[in-house]
Amino acid sequence: MSVKKEASGRRSVQVEVEVPGTPEEVWQAIATGPGISSWFVPAAFEVRDGKPVGVTLNFGPGMESASAVTAWDPPRKWATQSAGWVPGSPPLANEWSIEARGGGACIVRIVQSLFASTDDWDSQLEGAEHGWPGFLRALRIYLTHFRGLSSVQMKWMVPFAGTEAEAWESLTAAMGLKGLSVGQRWTAPAGVPPCGGVVEYFTQNPYDALLRLDQPGPGLAALGAFNCGGPSMIALGFYLYGDRAGTTVAQQTPLWEAWFQERFPMPKEPDNGG
């Protein structure tokens, strides 16, 4: 994977995935707030005179990304433009498109681009490109098993005193996932909040897994371990689907909070004295 560079100064990366569904069904999953929130991050569209003019993606506390909608052609394509990653960086454009294929499938293609005269921002584009495949795998699972359902999310991200490999080893061991392969059923061991389902994806390069859940309810769990230049991090996120998802999240959140505090406690602040 690499950044495509054009004479105009446009630099872009592209990712795509084949998913089941008609263009109209896929459009609902990638071009509506409830749809995007069901496999990516919480999303909300601003609509004016019946047409979307902006979208906000919430990546976590203090990490909201607001974009202007610059193209809207359902069920084929929509596009946005937003401020760059940091002050002084060039504006960022995203184009989401759907290409119908035979057999009731579609290609979803995402192109992320910016204009720059130097290579200074290529690493950010490459980082975004590496981050998309995990979410697109979640999109494919969502459209295969949970199409049309909205979700309620719960997520945790905690630091780990060790390497990425050690963080992944600790997380997968604690959740009873060691030795499992794709397609196998899994039930969390004693001490973990009740949870179980089927392993849909599991890799150690990078450290990443997706579990299709039937307990605590229909849903998807995404696990990962990574390092972005600071401490290693452990991530666990749930998308729960259906009418009872909100109630289930309300019941499960304190259980998982307690589990994380016991298994992966936050490092204590150094005591500098009084």
The amino acid occupying position 110 is I
20-34 per-position pLDDT tens digit: 999 999 999 999 999
List the end-to-end C-alpha distance of the chain, in Å, as a whole number.
52
**What angle do helix axes 122-145 and 23-30 make, rounded to 10 degrees?**
120
Distance CA 19, CA 30 (A): 12
What is the rounded average pLDDT of the residues 207-223?
Answer: 97
Residues with Cβ within 8 Å of residue 44, at least 6 apart in sequence: 33, 55, 56, 58
**CATH level 2 (architecture), domain 4-145:** 2-Layer Sandwich (3.30)
273: pLDDT confidence band, cut at 50, 70 and 90?
Answer: low
**Cβ-contact 135, 59 below 8 angstroms:** no
What is the rounded average pLDDT of the residues 218-229?
Answer: 92
235-255 per-position pLDDT tens digit: 999 999 999 999 999 999 999
119-171 per-position pLDDT tens digit: 777 777 787 777 889 999 999 999 999 999 999 999 999 999 999 999 999 99
Same fold, 4-145 and 151-263: yes
- CATH 2.60.120.10 is held by the domain 151-263: no
Q: Is the pLDDT of residue 76 over 70?
A: yes
Q: Is the pLDDT of residue 87 over 90?
A: no
Smallest Cα–Cα separation from 96: which of 31, 43, 40, 42?
31
Domain boundaries, given as residue ranges, for the chain: 4-145, 151-263
Q: Is the pLDDT of residue 115 over 90?
A: no
pLDDT at site 159: 94
pLDDT at site 100: 97
**Cβ-contact 206, 131 below 8 angstroms:** no
How high does pLDDT run on average in the chain?
91
